[in-house]
Amino acid sequence: MVKRVFLVGYMGSGKSTIGRYVAADMKWDFVDMDAYFERKHQCTISSFFARHGEDAFRHAEHEVVAELCKAERTIVATGGGAPCFFDNMDLMNTAGATIYINVSPDELTARLRTQRDQRPILASKTDDELLDFISCQLAQREPHYRKAHMVVDGKSLPFDSYRTLIEYFPDELLTDTNP
């Protein structure tokens, strides 16, 4: 059976909610990559970004991906941009099962509309600007997300189905060299 699972997708797709539920159901660990990053660097991602810039953030995020590729019996909710930089998606595909939680821009906008104050990048956007921003960013990121082993409908797939996908994931798709 697979040792680790990486949930990828845009912010608001449900990675953390689904990951917590499935990890608890399977009696596995759950890691929210953004929270892990913040604990490791002892500051918020926004603060890290402001102090060091995006390049430094993406390099530090890549290190976090590499670390989490060694975790066992763990479900990881990745940061929304993590699969799109360096060879992060390839690393995750090699180390574990990857699941892209696909959600339409309209649905993401509806979900994120009420979370604007918690997400600084969205805070000042009107509803129309929010939809345009999400649509544009998702179009750029989707080719990376679609490299995942599995693509699921994040609006309609029941949480219980994720466990089945994980339990029946064919190990031969992995080339993990970690013991």
In this structure, what token pair is assigned to residue 120? 């600084």
For the chain, what is the mean pLDDT? Answer: 94
Give the model confidence (pLDDT) of 5-61 as tens digits: 999 999 999 999 999 999 999 999 999 999 999 999 999 998 998 999 999 999 999
100-143 pLDDT per residue, tens:
999 999 999 999 999 988 887 898 999 999 999 999 999 999 99
CB 5 within 8 A of CB 72: no
Q: Where are the domains of the chain?
A: 4-171
pLDDT, residue 120, reads 77
Partner residues linked to 34 by β-bridges? none
Residue 175 binned pLDDT confidence (cut-offs 50, 70, 90): low
**pLDDT the model gives residue 177:** 47
Name the DSSP class of 116. Answer: G
Q: Measured between alpha carbons, how far is 170 from 57 in angstroms, rounded to an integer?
A: 33
Q: Does the pLDDT value for residue 179 go beyond 50?
A: no
Fold assignment, 4-171: Rossmann fold (3.40.50)
| 83, 9 contact by CB (below 8 A) | no
Of the candidates 27, 28, 140, 141, which has an alpha carbon nearest to the alpha carbon of residue 76?
A: 28
